[in-house]
Amino acid sequence: MIKDTLLYDLLSIKPDACENDIIVAYYEMAERHHPENLKEKNHDSISKFDEIKFAYDVLSNEQNRKFYDENGYEATKEMFDKQDEFSYDNYTSQNYYGSLINNEYDFYQTPKITKNLVFPLKVSLKDLYRGTKKNFDYQVLVICKDCDGTGFKKVNTDKKCPKCSDQEEDSNVRIREICSECSECLTCAGERVVQEEKKIEINIEKGMRHRQQIAFTGLSNQKPGYETGDLIFILEQSKHDTFSRHEDYLIMKHTINLTEALCGFKILFRHLDGRLKAITCSGGEYFHNQTVKSIPKLGMPKLNSSDYGDLIIKFSVNFPESKSLNLEKIKILEEILPPKRTIEFKEDEKIVEVTSKHVDKNFFDYESDDEIRYAVDENLPEEAFLIKEDMQEEFESNPQRIECNTQ
């Protein structure tokens, strides 16, 4: 039983969040509340970032997280305060922004990081099944080489500019005197950065998922005095004509007629590996609407594994059109099929005959088959016996982030 959820709430995650969820949530919250990214640096902004960093350091450590879950926030804070090398009250100021002097913050010059450059990357279900490589062209800002990011022309350091040498240069303001010796860099027009066209090769591994992130460290926009952020691609899977996906399952819908449902049938379909697959169902194994079959190892490959999920086939049965059978055929069917059920009632009880009529299938706002239940393969794990279809194309609520080496 978790005593309180304060630290989870600070990162906007659930108490059952995995390690990757915590990392992603912290990264987003820290970037949003970092005092250097805010218009005003005050006590509240520092305290907020302090709390977020504290939450991450507790929840990202398995032992600390277990202690917090069992004992709560106050006990965890007290435990950290007792550590000789750690003081929660000075946590942010000592490690990131300096110490509190006369109620004013003296900020250390900690590294600043440029914002991440994020792009969507279109992929097909086949790409995620087979794995592939994609080339991506993008534009990025880089520090101007002609002026080394100063914004001014390079000049002879031994010779001072007669117009600028007498001016006292403030550390936070660049002098922009236009003269023959020191003027704005013609390449970047004083902006210190220039735009470049770049191409990168992205490796799509087998088993990756919709909305998964692939990150290249230090390939975002550059800025003088800043560390460079990451270049991130978010996979956007397009819809497939035959298959949909749920985790490592591939799901396929197939419609058969009443004769096939009773007498057997054969299915031919082309799998994502490019090969034709055949499924034969002999007569006597009756199928009905929402009958579901599973075929082991024909699902999606599991990331960083040689194993595969299962292929799930959901069947629906098309019945003959209304009044398409004459009385003679109906009598033949009655002889072949199991007998009708008998209705028992009291002889002295009055019976009122009523007439039914057809209702449009869209009469209700919901579909009756909004859930898939397995009719076979009892060896599947218990949690796999119920799959909600509206989750099949939904982004994995906690996308994984794959780190790539800088190219």
Least reliable range by pLDDT among 120-129, 148-157, 262-271: 148-157
The strand order across the sheet containing 401-404 reads 117-123, 231-237, 213-216, 401-404
What is the reported pLDDT for 185?
83
Residue carrying the six token digits 């390690």:
19
Which residues are paired to 120 by β-bridges?
Answer: 234
**Stated pTM of the model:** 0.55
Please write down the HEC assignment for all residues of 23-46: HHHHHHHHHHHCHHHCCCCCHHHH
pLDDT higher than 70, residue 179: no
**Domain 6-110 part of CATH 1.10.3720.10:** no
* Domains in the chain: boundaries: 6-110, 124-236, 243-391
Fold classified for 124-236: HSP40/DNAj peptide-binding domain (2.60.260)
Same fold, 6-110 and 243-391: no
**Domain spanning 243-391: which CATH class is it, in words?**
mainly beta
What are the contacts of 24-30 at 24+ separation with CB within 8 A? 24/398, 24/399, 24/401, 26/52, 26/55, 26/56, 26/60, 30/56
SS3 of residue 234 by DSSP: strand
pLDDT in tens, 328-363: 888 888 888 878 777 777 777 777 777 767 666 665
Which of the pair, 83 or 325, is modelled with greater confidence? 325
Distance (Å, whole) CA 185 – CA 183: 6
pLDDT in tens, 187-206: 888 888 999 999 999 999 99
DSSP string covering 161-206: -TTTTTSPPPTT-------SSS-B-TTTTTSSEEEEEEEEEEEE-T
